Structure 1
Amino acid sequence: MESTQLNWIAGFIWSIADDVLRDVYTRGKYRDIILPMTVIRRLDAVLEPTKDAVRSMKTQLDTAGVTNQEAALRHAAGQAFYNASPFTLKDLKSRARTHQLKSDFEAYLDGFSSNVQDILLKFKFHNQIQTLVEADILGSLIEKFLDPAINLSPEPVRGANGDIRVPALDNHAMGTLFEELIRRFNEENNEEAGEHFTPRDVVRLMADLIFLPIADKIQSGTYLVYDGACGTGGMLTVAEGRLSELAAAHGNDVSIHLYGQEVNPETYAITKADLLLKGEGEEAENFTLGSTLSQDGFPGREFDFMLSNPPYGKSWKTDLERMGGKADLRDPRFMINHNGDGEFSLLTRSSDGQLMFLANMLSKMKQATPLGSRIAEVHNGSSLFTGDAGQGESNVRQWIIENDWLEAIIALPLNMFYNTGIATYIWVLGNRKPAHRQGKVQLIDATSWYRSLRKNLGKKNCELAPEDIGRIVETFLAFAETEQSKIFPNAAFGYHKVTVERPLRLRDIDPERAYTTKEIKGLLAEGRRAGGSDDEGLPVIRKIHKPGTAADPLRGLFLLPSPSGRGAGGEGRVVEYEPDPDKRDTEQIPLLEPITADAEDGVEAFIRREVLPYAPDAWIDASKTKIGYEISFTRHFYKPPQLRTLEEIRADIEALERETEGLLDEILVEVEQ
């Protein structure tokens, strides 16, 4: 079917809302009626040729006392769904009495198979029937959807002489039509669209980023594609189409199965309905309703390709409570074994769970296939740097980078999404990195590659044109240093968070003894803390080490003179100072900090260069050292504004002087006159 014809049908269905629902529903509620009615009419049209066979099979099964009738009725219908009621929509069109219409329409809906019942339940369509009946518009609504001007059937409408009067609507065209209706309703309610609808230009880019690098390695066979926050399922269907296209271009025949999970009931219903309308009823069974974090719909299953746009800046506190809280959470997706730590935590702050969705995907990577798994996921900027060393967000980044799964991060233009203008990024990951990418991460600044929209869609004022998508993918595949592409070793994003201690100094203490914690608290309560210029007193000694212990100032082991002559060789004693919490500080030291001749590692080199010259009695508490990871686009792509030269400034001043020359004399003359 021509795209113009599809747009005309979409416009006709769109007009039904204004013709029938106005003054009964607000515009924001039109979708609650139009979307389920579109589904019902399409299914009704598809099932019409086999209606008699289904009714006959229903009678036989009832007579035989068969209770589990689903499989037999689906077979009789020749579809993955059926309707066993005595009615079609055309039968209901002739109902004159409102009460009878309501009763028969409800019986008609109850006759659908369980998968359609599930869709109608999630749409909450039964809740709308009473309102439609009370407003006396149910009959008009049905009649509009049966208008002979439109044909939602897979069979054409023919004239008396057999010529085609209205073309058929195949499964692909019906899916396209349904997506167009969803898009229009999303534009009507842009706030909601941002939560459930990822712009198709962004989805096409994500699909290219995970498929094109391995397009020549795709073989004939079965591939599983997954989205853990699938929304209306558009991301999966675009990915399916792109994968099929690339496989066919290389002469391969692939079978693609889609899997998704969605927490919003209506959005889940739209996804399943879209698949049914496209003739993929069996595929609809691969979608589950519920929170991906606390109710994983696919435990233990692995996928070849994964794409997602998870919610960011959204609390997952309820999920955390369902999972037992941070203290008792033992989900293997988020409590893992890494670097010998059997309880390495990937739990992020409960106020933002976007990196938890990424961890969920990473737990579902295929390990035993030649291609492994490839992932593309959209995040906002907080995933790059939020979280201190040892906290969940940093741990997720550490786990990803130290396993060498991160291939690239692409910074998208601002205002790409419907309900937010903030910076967004696409993370590209895989567990089969090609040799030239191993041990490295590519950052791409694509913020200037876009075209403006003629009309804003909510906060979305730009899009990725095909040439912009091509430029980004080409830059990704080239894997070369340019102004927009930077390549770093994995360790460039890691750092040691080191705790620097200074000794606690108190007045009037005995330098020859160690004090207990209780005694120290008492001395502090007495105001014995030294400070300012008086900070020359002896430190409180926590522990006197045995003779022969080597002094190590970097670890807090200092050699002090021994007035009594005790100690190793009578020269002194090695002590540990009581640290002063008020003077405690931290330093972030890059993992790639250069090692100098007087240091064992980069941490020691940094402390000797940056700390000890200013605080000779400082030391580091190695037990508190943690490793963290963060990624800063600003640091690597920031371009300072070009300042004017002194010559340019001087020229401007001289020009102004010439313009004002004689102006003061003219003013004085006018005043004297």
Structure 2
Amino acid sequence: MNQQALSSFIWSVADLLRGDFKQSDYGRIILPFTVLRRLDCVLEDTKAAALTELAAKRTAGLNPAPFLLRVTGCGFYNTSMLDMKRLMGDQDHIADNLYTYVQGFSPDVRDIFERFDFDTTVERLAKSGLLYQVAERFAGFDLHPESVDNHQMGLVFEELIRKFAEISNETAGEHFTPRDAIRLMVNLLFIEDDAVLARPGTVRTIYDPTAGTGGMLSVSGEYLAELNPQARLTMFGQELNPESYAICKADMLIKGQAVSNIVFGNTLSADGLLGKLFDYMLSNPPFGVEWKKIEAAVRKEYEQKGYNGRFGPGLPRVSDGSLLFLLHLISKMRPAADGGSRIGIVLNGSPLFTGGAGSGESEIRRYCLENDLVEAIVGLPTDMFYNTGISTYVWILSNRKPEHRRGRVQLIDASSFWQKMRKSLGSKRKEMSEEHIATVTRLFGDFAEARLAILTDTTGKEVSRQVLLAGEPDPAVPQDGKVRVTPISRIFKNEVFGYRTITVERPLRDDAGQPVLGQKGKAKGKPQPDPKLRDTESVPLAQDVTDYFKREVLPHAPDAWIDHEKTKIGYEIPFNRHFYVFEPPRPRAAIDTDLKRVTDRIKNMIDGLTA
């Protein structure tokens, strides 16, 4: 049974809850019971040995915890005589026995069920008379690691949360990232370090400040395990949503990670891993979610700590806090002298261009580009995420760029690299295949400019497509078909994205049409500006402001001047503009021919009706 079928099978427990509980409550019941059954199955093989060890160590007056961890071999244990199947033998005391069983787990596991507010869930089920039926249904699910491995179980958790989020109308972009998007991000993050990561005994750290259910951390671990089974990736994360946090912690626990590295809370207002720096970082922060609730804490850090804190470069508008997560990740980078760090973060289109010169968003982009942190930005297909169909972009940042990348940014348009899913999952209708991911990874790894040639037949149907590296000729045009060539990878110098906003003033004139001169201070004897005629111009950083002014302004307004005190530097990344290809309209003669054909057909139809 694949993970989608298994998650649907588990979600069928909702049939028992219908009528007694709201749809939005289903996940709060199904998720903790799924975790409980999974942990129960993981401990099944060592249950008897653990109880024997427990009795022996208690008799000897020793703390049994370290010995039980050694027996179970999975970072947690349970000291209760009960398990899920034994619970079914006493229907009358199911609630009390379930409490006892959960309390028998080691402290980290009890914390998981506290985050689920499991006691309240059990109480509500007991009052509705459904506790035994729900527990019995879960006791019948086979979630043993031999039947469902850790990778599959992670996908099951994500599918269950997706269903929960869907019926709860959760905010777009929240909770978790599709596995195809994560695989692409992980490939881009690790590709430049494959040789280093393949060395024996390699130990690296990875961090996700919006950990969700731990999907990004898990896929990163799988990637490194395939590359080098002897390497170790120590995982860290923080998560705000209690259910997601609980599942992430359970998943890390089962995989042998130190669960103390997974922290609960709001990353922006209370950094749970203060002072820690990491080798790699991944994040998919919520899209377009305002940060008003934590504004006081964020502004306090910004104003009091400046660049010694996380938000020194600036603060974005309150309506979208995604760039705050970018700044948070940058603050967690190791110094380049200590090996540096690499970051992969998913953002929507807004952080690329929102905010004029001097705004918080522009200053954040300016900080990233002037410090040469941005390696690449990859545009993803729309409809890639479960809760939103908007355009999304993967930013790859590093403070240890290879020599050939320094001072440059690579833009990759992967928006056409997708295949239609057999069945839509929420808003997710498209997915990137392994071939698509490999192509984008190769373009990034080669640091190459490239074009995409799409060959179509006479009907306009796509026949094939080819990726053409710089210098390669266009393919031959198929008979009666067409070839459309568009750029998909472009490389720019950092300063290309910068500009100066200059303020152009024109004189205030009196009734006689003469310029009004200042009477006092610095303005004395100088023409006074007319606010109604004031204008601004954006001048690329690479251009000389004076030359631009003489060429573009003075021919149209000879009396104008620049107020240099108001000049601001800004940065924006107009991603789509760099991949736009003008397609000329059809020849006029062809359009006239089509119109005549249509009008002749309409005329014949009218003649037929009047005959």
Q: Does the TM-score normalized on the shorter chain lie above 0.5?
A: yes
For residues 321 and 304 of structure 2, the distance between their equivalents in structure 1, rounded to whole angstroms, comes to: 15
Residues 6 and 592 of structure 1, relative CA distance in 2, 3 Å threshold: closer
Alignment counterpart, residue 368 of structure 2, candidates 372, 388, 400:
400
Alignment counterpart, residue 347 of structure 2, candidates 376, 379, 386:
379
For residues 324 and 60 of structure 1, the distance between their equivalents in structure 2, rounded to whole angstroms, comes to: 56
After superposition, where does 1:137-536 map in structure 2 within 5 Å?
Answer: 137-147=130-140, 150-153=141-144, 168-169=146-147, 173-187=149-163, 189-190=165-166, 191-192=169-170, 194-218=173-197, 219-220=199-200, 221-247=202-228, 253-276=230-253, 278-280=254-256, 282-325=257-300, 328-330=303-305, 332=307, 345-368=313-336, 372-482=340-450, 483-505=487-509, 507=510, 530=511, 534-536=512-514
Larger radius of gyration: 1
Deviations 1:475-506 (A, max 9, x none): 2223333321121111100001112223334x
TM normalised by structure 1 equals: 0.77
**Secondary structure, counterpart of 2:526 in structure 1:** strand
For residues 209 and 360 of structure 1, the distance between their equivalents in structure 2, rounded to whole angstroms, comes to: 20
CA shift, 1:85, in A, is 3.6
The answer to whether the Cα contact below 8 Å between 2:317 and 2:360 also exists between their aligned partners in 1 is: yes
The answer to whether the Cα contact below 8 Å between 1:16 and 1:141 also exists between their aligned partners in 2 is: yes
For residues 616 and 334 of structure 1, the distance between their equivalents in structure 2, rounded to whole angstroms, comes to: 47
CA shift, 1:290, in A, is 1.0
The answer to whether the Cα contact below 8 Å between 1:334 and 1:360 also exists between their aligned partners in 2 is: no
CA shift, 1:49, in A, is 2.6
**AA of the residue aligned to 1:239:** S
For residues 607 and 95 of structure 2, the distance between their equivalents in structure 1, rounded to whole angstroms, comes to: 93
**Secondary structure, counterpart of 1:314 in structure 2:** coil
For residues 359 and 405 of structure 2, the distance between their equivalents in structure 1, rounded to whole angstroms, comes to: 28
2:10 corresponds in structure 1 to 13
CA shift, 1:430, in A, is 1.3
Deviations 1:207-264 (A, max 9, x none): 111112321232332100111111111011011111222235xxxx311101111111
1:42 aligns with 2:48: no
Residues 29 and 659 of structure 1, relative CA distance in 2, 3 Å threshold: closer
For residues 302 and 139 of structure 2, the distance between their equivalents in structure 1, rounded to whole angstroms, comes to: 58
Give % identity: 41
Residues 151 and 592 of structure 1, relative CA distance in 2, 3 Å threshold: same
CA shift, 1:381, in A, is 0.6
Residues 335 and 106 of structure 1, relative CA distance in 2, 3 Å threshold: closer
2:75 corresponds in structure 1 to 80
Residues 612 and 107 of structure 1, relative CA distance in 2, 3 Å threshold: same
**Secondary structure, counterpart of 2:290 in structure 1:** coil
Q: Structure 2: which 5+ runs fail to align?
A: 451-486
Which contiguous aligned blocks of 4+ residues in structure 1 show a shift greater than 6 angstroms? 5-8, 660-668
For residues 497 and 111 of structure 2, the distance between their equivalents in structure 1, rounded to whole angstroms, comes to: 47
**Secondary structure, counterpart of 2:124 in structure 1:** helix
Residues 488 and 196 of structure 1, relative CA distance in 2, 3 Å threshold: same
The answer to whether the Cα contact below 8 Å between 2:238 and 2:267 also exists between their aligned partners in 1 is: yes
CA shift, 1:368, in A, is 4.4
The answer to whether the Cα contact below 8 Å between 1:543 and 1:575 also exists between their aligned partners in 2 is: no
For residues 49 and 469 of structure 1, the distance between their equivalents in structure 2, rounded to whole angstroms, comes to: 46
CA shift, 1:667, in A, is 9.0
Alignment counterpart, residue 582 of structure 1, candidates 512, 529, 532:
532
Alignment counterpart, residue 26 of structure 2, candidates 26, 30, 54:
30
1:122 corresponds in structure 2 to 115
**AA of the residue aligned to 2:87:** L
**AA of the residue aligned to 2:242:** P
The answer to whether the Cα contact below 8 Å between 1:333 and 1:360 also exists between their aligned partners in 2 is: no
1:543 corresponds in structure 2 to 521
CA shift, 1:50, in A, is 3.5
Deviations 1:39-86 (A, max 9, x none): 22333340523342364267458xx6x9x8755664565542232345
For residues 64 and 508 of structure 2, the distance between their equivalents in structure 1, rounded to whole angstroms, comes to: 80
The answer to whether the Cα contact below 8 Å between 1:451 and 1:464 also exists between their aligned partners in 2 is: yes
**AA of the residue aligned to 1:502:** R
Deviations 1:135-176 (A, max 9, x none): 3232233333333xx54445xxxxxxxxxxxxx447xx1452
Deviations 1:612-639 (A, max 9, x none): 2333333222222211100112321223
For residues 352 and 503 of structure 2, the distance between their equivalents in structure 1, rounded to whole angstroms, comes to: 23
2:542 corresponds in structure 1 to 592
The answer to whether the Cα contact below 8 Å between 2:157 and 2:213 also exists between their aligned partners in 1 is: no
For residues 293 and 602 of structure 2, the distance between their equivalents in structure 1, rounded to whole angstroms, comes to: 70
Which piece of structure 1 moves more, 427-436 or 196-205? 427-436
For residues 661 and 397 of structure 1, the distance between their equivalents in structure 2, rounded to whole angstroms, comes to: 60
1:521 corresponds in structure 2 to none
**Secondary structure, counterpart of 1:196 in structure 2:** coil
**AA of the residue aligned to 1:13:** I
Q: Structure 1: which 5+ runs fail to align?
A: 155-167, 337-343, 508-529, 545-555, 557-573, 594-601
**AA of the residue aligned to 1:186:** R
**AA of the residue aligned to 2:531:** P
